[in-house]
Amino acid sequence: MTEQIYLVGGAVRDQLLGIEVKDKDWVVVGSSPDKMLAQGFQAVGKDFPVFLHPSTHEEYALARTERKTAPGYKGFQFHAAEDVTLEQDLQRRDLTINAIAQTEDGTLIDPYNGQQDIKDKILRHVSPAFAEDPVRVLRIARFAARFDFTIADETQALIKQMIESGELEYLVAERVWQELDKALGADKPSRFFTSLRESGALKALFPEVDRLFGVPQPEKWHPEIDTGVHVMLVIDQAAKLTQDKIVRFAALCHDLGKGTTPADTLPRHIGHEARSIDLTKALCKRIKAPKEYQEMAVLIAEYHTHVHLLFELKANTILKVLNAFDAFRRPERFQQFLLTGEADSRGRPGYETSAIPELAAFQQCRDTAAKITAQPFVEAGLVGPAISEAMQKQRIIEIKKRQSDWKKTNSS
């Protein structure tokens, strides 16, 4: 059998959707590892026979079939041989829209009607073997978020079965994080969570997010009332404001503590910030979120209300917030704080475009306080911790000046 190479998966799909093709995946039929190596390809697949092209460095996978012999990933076995056909390889793929191949001359090979599903905006599984890999539950929610597609009824039913059978317990943290991280990159990340919620997967995978739905907040500040609805609006606002996924993740976590507010104190959420911190840490640990995501999410959990309360804060509290974010040395972290605060405020129906004077005012505080440097105190002969103490005092004086400016503008 002579070797044939096809473009497959995301690249074919994205091209049909008319969106930018990021990375190209290829499938090679009628070849073998030895033949690939002889042609200069470099073996990279740890789990599967995948090779890098000697010059383009794109991924070329030998056509394979897969089957599950036992629960969990250890029971996943593949068979890659020269007699595996293109149709067989396409059949092991998750969704019909991801199971279209293209020949070099542009001809599409589409045995599972992926093109029709692209036209109808439907995510449909290719075969019942879909149920063998729980990561597909996350992938499908991510595609629902990215493309605004709906999940076919029969696929949704299969997902529900997978959840009931406990299949999601086999998901490893790294894969959950990887998919969540990609989902946060969507224009409307909320769709990822609402899609997971519809199948019941949200409760299984992110119970701390699922729990927010149905929890009331005071209508005076939150016309949407429901905390889950609010958090979804906030992550979508965050996605509108910035590409920074750290901000989007912090937006997801900021109000987690509202999910464990004692029922007899609702709809108020006294002390939810401390509960958000604990839940955020536990979530990050469970899904192995990178350190920089966790650090910012925990800080935002602690301080997010301080954006809205700025005009009522004492000067030394304002300085405490600035120091917590290391705002003088790392101004970008302070921006992440302000962006999350902005998303939090705009993530309420009716407030999407409202003025938020606290943002510029907080920035003013940072900028004036940042002008206080160590140099004059060193020159005045201070040494050791006395320098930092003097700087903090002077920064508080500067912040107080801003506060009296605000009072003047407010009363004039």
Which chain residues interact with Mg ion by CB under 5 A? 10
Contact 114, 93 (CB under 8 A): no
Q: How many residues bind ligand ATP (CB under 6 A)?
A: 12
C-alpha to C-alpha distance for 383 and 387, rounded to whole angstroms:
6
CA dihedral 282, 136, 151, 293 (to 10 degrees): 30
Nearer to Mg ion, 21 or 157 (CB): 21
**Residue 267 binds: one of Mg ion, ligand ATP, none (C-beta under 5 to 8 A by kind):** none
Three-state SS for 30? Answer: coil
Q: Which residues contact 232 (CB under 8 A, 6 or more apart)?
A: 190, 193, 194
Cβ burial of 334 (10 Å; 0-12, 13-18, 19+) is: buried
Q: Which stretch binds ligand ATP (CB under 6 A): 48-56, 94-102, 187-195, 259-267?
A: 94-102
Among the residues of 188-290, which ranges form H helices? 190-199, 201-205, 207-210, 227-241, 245-253, 272-287
- In angstroms, what is the minimal distance from the CB of 125 to ligand ATP? 9
- Using the minimum distance from each CB to ligand ATP, give the nearer residue, 101 or 299: 101
Residue closer to ligand ATP, measured from CB, 59 or 295:
59
* Eight-state DSSP code of residue 354: -
**Closer Cβ to ligand ATP, 10 or 200, answer by number:** 10
Which one of ligand ATP, Mg ion, none interacts with residue 98, CB within 5 to 8 A by kind? ligand ATP
Q: Residue 182 Cβ, how far from ligand ATP at the closest point, in Å?
A: 6
CB nearer ligand ATP, residue 23 or residue 332: 23
Whether the link from the prior residue into 54 is cis, omega within 30° of 0, is no
Residue 349, helix vs strand vs coil:
coil
Nearest to 299 by CA among 265, 346, 258, 251: 251
Tell me which DSSP letter residue 29 carries: E
Among the listed residues 93, 191, 258, 395, the single contact to ligand ATP using CB under 6 A: 93
Strands 25-29 and 65-68: unpaired
Q: Tokens for 77?
A: 């076995």
In the numeric block, which tokens belong to residue 30? 């009628």
Residue closer to Mg ion by CB (options 10, 267) is: 10
CB of 100 to ligand ATP, least distance (A): 9
- Pick the stretch among 27-35, 36-44, 135-143, 183-191 that binds ligand ATP (CB under 6 A): 135-143
Q: Does 94 bind ligand ATP (CB under 6 A)?
A: yes
**The entry of ligand ATP, Mg ion, none that residue 272 binds, CB within 5 to 8 Å by partner kind:** none
> Phi first, then psi: what are they for 77, rounded to 5°?
-125, 145
Q: Contacting ligand ATP (CB under 6 A), which of 135, 266, 382, 390? A: 135
- Choosing among Mg ion, ligand ATP, none, which partner's interface includes residue 244 (Cβ < 5 to 8 Å by kind)? none
User: Among 110, 133, 224, 236, which residue interacts with ligand ATP (rule: CB under 6 A)?
Assistant: 133
Residues 6+ apart with CB under 8 A from 410: none
Alpha carbons 400 and 2: distance in angstroms, whole number: 78
The 10 Å Cβ neighbour count of residue 270 is: 9
Shortest Å, Cβ 166 to ligand ATP: 18
Near ligand ATP in 9-28, by CB under 6 A: 9-10, 25
Site for ligand ATP in 181-200 (CB under 6 A): 182
23 vs 187 by CB, closer to Mg ion: 23
Q: For the CB of residue 31, give the shortest distance to ligand ATP in the complex, in Å.
A: 18
- Least distance CB 238 / Mg ion (angstroms): 25
* Binding positions for ligand ATP, rule: CB under 6 A: 9-10, 25, 93-94, 98-99, 133, 135-136, 139, 182
